[in-house]
Structure 1
Amino acid sequence: MSGIMRKRSEFFNRALSGNWSEKKDRLVELPEDDPEIFAFYINIIYTGAISSQTDNHRLPNNELQAYFLAIVKSYILAEKLQDKQAKNTALLTLHTVTVRLSFPERLPNAEIVDLMYKNTSKGSLGRRLMVDIWNNNYTKTVLEKSESICKDFFVDLAYSIYGQRQKKPSVAWDMPSTTYEEEL
């Protein structure tokens, strides 16, 4: 298993090939990471995809939000592990699902937007996707939830709305999914 992980993740490559103690033991401990999300990440590595909830539009909203949360957490883990392919897979899945479910109550909720923003850096493609998802007719809906969403999201959303006024496409529905992929 370490071979594929080293190939995909710069973090694991360094940990298992440098002067780290993990190289000798061939064991990398990540105690602060959720084992379920790590299993989700391992599944992405081996299958190249995130298991699809084929009838996303029929899922109860709480299950759909849990699915979005797992995708975003896997993106955050992949960013930590420096695995561009897994990050791209997570954002491709999130983009695909949200484009099909374009109703405000069926989009990633305030908690998920906030999680993405608190765990990624400025300029992150994950942040950009969150803004583009909400930069549509749903801006009013997100403004109503403003108490629970971080300020940086609103700054990015304002810039995106301004860009839209300049006639640039800036909503997820108008963008190809490759917009959110990192170059490998």
Structure 2
Amino acid sequence: MADDTPPAKRAKLTFSEHIRVLVGPTKQEFMVHKDVITSRSHFCKAATSERWSASGSQALKLPADDPDVFSGYLRCLYKDFVDIEDISKNQEQVINIYVLADKLGDATSKNIITDKYAEWSDSAYKIPDVELVNHAFNNTANNSQLRRMFVDFYVHEGSATILKDAVKCASLEFRTALLTAFVDLRDDQEWEDEPVSEAFGQRVSERDTCFYQEHDELCLPCASD
């Protein structure tokens, strides 16, 4: 039976309150609309729910984070957008924004970044280099969809030469994830009676909507899901 329950609605943004965010060891100050960031970030929502003061005298502190990365995160937060030029010029910076979004519990921003990275890779005919993948693996959790996407780049779009070089330079976690992905493909019953080559070549950009996305109560699934 179909579920007739209407989809959850997002809270209306009022833009009436701000949060002071102090970032990095120098405590660089950012003023962010409370409704905007708490509608996306579980961390900020939890941090302000109990102790928020109407006077705005309190501040969120991110002493271990880079102000430049936080600036990039705010652009993603407010515009729901990551510029392909940013990826072309500094992939590590974009991945660092993903890592910060992950730390803040902002699934929407993470999804925007994975989608845009897949689009950039397809248009530029490039996959992330091993150093970037190692960096991502070193700063994300085991269930990260970014890890999943990067592994798929190598499994389905990497040449033999790229794979050989990756095995030599990959971190232990990345190498293990690669080998696991190949074994899983081999054991997948869907490909049991098909040529081996048919199991590969599933380009990241051709995956279904939301394939590399995460969803929760602050980030609802796509309409097609």
Normalising by structure 1, we get a TM-score of: 0.81
Q: Cα distance, 1:126 vs. partner?
A: 0.9
Contact kept in structure 2, 1:96 and 1:177, CA below 8 Å: no
The Cα shift of 1:176 comes to 2.8
Number of residue pairs matched? 171
2:184 corresponds to which letter in structure 1? G
Aligned to 2:150: 130
Which residue, out of 102, 105, 114, partners 1:91? 114
Tell me, what secondary structure is at the counterpart of 1:28?
strand
SS in structure 2 opposite 1:129? helix
- 2:17 alignment partner in structure 1: none
How far apart are 1:145 and its partner, in Å?
A: 4.0
CA distance in 1, matches of 2:139, 2:70: 16
Structure 1 position 162, deviation (Å): 2.5
CA distance in 2, matches of 1:76, 1:117: 10
The Cα of 1:19 is off from its aligned counterpart by 4.1
Q: Which has the higher contact order (CA 8 A, sep 6+)?
A: 1
Equivalence for 1:158: 179
Cα distance change, pair 173–159 in 1 and its aligned pair in 2 (3 A): farther
Q: Does 1:7 align with 2:30?
A: no
Aligned to 1:74: 97
Matching of residues 99-178 of structure 1 within 5 Å:
99-102=122-125, 106-138=126-158, 140=160, 141-165=162-186, 166=188, 167=191, 171-178=203-210
Counterpart contact for 2:155–2:178, Cα < 8 Å: yes
State the one-letter code of the partner of 1:52: I
SS at match of 2:84: coil
CA contact (8 A) 2:37 2:44 kept: yes
Deviation, structure 1 residue 20: 7.9
Shift in Å, 1:173? 4.4
User: Is contact 1:92–1:177 with CA below 8 Å preserved after alignment?
Assistant: no
| 2:70 match | 38
Structure 2: unaligned runs, 5 residues or longer = 1-32, 192-198, 220-225
Confirm or deny: 8 A CA contact 1:135 1:171 kept in the other structure.
no
Deviation at 1:127, TM superposition (A): 0.5
Q: Select the structure that is richer in strand.
A: 2
AA aligned opposite 1:135: V
Residue type at the aligned position of 2:105: Q
Percent of paired sites with the same residue:
22
- Structure 1 residue 107, shift from structure 2 partner: 2.1
Deviation string for 1:94-153 (max 9, x for gaps)? 111112233xxx321222101110111112111101101111352531431444321111
Secondary structure at the counterpart of residue 178 of structure 1 = coil
Question: How far apart, CA to CA, are the structure 2 residues paired with 1:143 and 1:32?
Answer: 36
More helix, by proportion: 1
Secondary structure, counterpart of 1:49 in structure 2? coil
Q: How far apart, CA to CA, are the structure 2 residues paired with 1:154 and 1:145? A: 8
Q: Distance in 1 between matches of 2:66 and 2:164?
A: 31
Moved more, 76-85 or 44-53: 44-53
Provide closer, same or farther for how the CA distance between residues 152 and 41 of structure 1 changes in structure 2, counting only shifts above 3 A: same
